[in-house]
Chains A and B, each alone.
Chain A
Amino acid sequence: KQEVTQIPAALSVPEGENLVLNCSFTDSAIYNLQWFRQDPGKGLTSLLLIQSSQREQTSGRLNASLDKSSGRSTLYIAASQPGDSATYLCAVHSGTYKYIFGTGTRLKVLA
């Protein structure tokens, strides 16, 4: 049974810092992994999708890496801004029809 864990649960950093969010999963047989952003009370915004054959994806200040063998993915945010404050969720698609989500990392970037 696939389980997804995100560490840390919460993070508070000053503006301008580079930071790393971690996601680990127990079953390496995944189809893809996706990082989402969620603002309070809102839906999910897709940030990056990494296919199982890929090692990383980049979009602007965001970079996501995937290491299937170790069951880990990281989301790197460069030069953080107060507007980056949100909850970040990773979700694993294991070839069944559903995503398995972690519980998220609540990020607060202080001005």
Chain B
Amino acid sequence: DAGVTQSPTHLIKTRGQQVTLRCSPKSGHDTVSWYQQALGQGPQFIFQYYEEEERQRGNFPDRFSGHQFPNYSSELNVNALLLGDSALYLCASSPQGGEQFFGPGTRLTVL
């Protein structure tokens, strides 16, 4: 079992650009959650996808959007990047209502 995988590992963008991050869940998991972790902080919940729909959303602007595909993989899109979007973006998968397993993260740097 490959566990939760994320791509890319690192990414450098400039202000105003758009970025797409990808996540493949652990086998058997149908729910994907995304978190943003700024340096020195705990992860903050962005949103969760289940059955290809956004089920819950944290306190993040509409510039953050996502998608879940029929194979349960997911994308996180961020538009109009700001310097403050620089962070580690973590994906977690779970069976419905179950324990979340985290991927290695994508390090986004906005210049």
| Stretch of A54-62, A63-71, A77-85, A92-100 on the interface side | A92-100
CB-CB under 8 A for A43 and B33, given A49-B99, A98-B56, A99-B100: no
- Name the CB-closest residue of A to B104: A43
Pick the contact of A97: B56, B102, B104 (CB < 8 A).
Answer: B56
Whether a CB of chain B sits under 8 angstroms from the CB of A101 is: yes
CB-based A-B contact count at 8 angstroms: 55
Give the residues in chain B near A43, CB-CB below 8 Å.
6, 90, 102-105
Once the chains are docked, how many angstroms separate the CA of A72 from the CA of B99?
20
Cβ–Cβ contact A104 & B42, under 8 A: yes
Interface residues on B, range: 20 to 34
B: residues with CB less than 8 A from A are 6, 31, 33, 35, 40-45, 48, 50, 55-56, 58, 88, 90, 92, 99-105, 107
| Contacts beyond the supplied A99-B92, A101-B35: 16 A-B pairs with Cβ under 8 Å | A42-B105, A43-B102, A43-B103, A44-B102, A46-B102, A49-B99, A89-B42, A89-B43, A91-B42, A96-B56, A97-B33, A98-B45, A98-B56, A99-B33, A99-B43, A104-B42
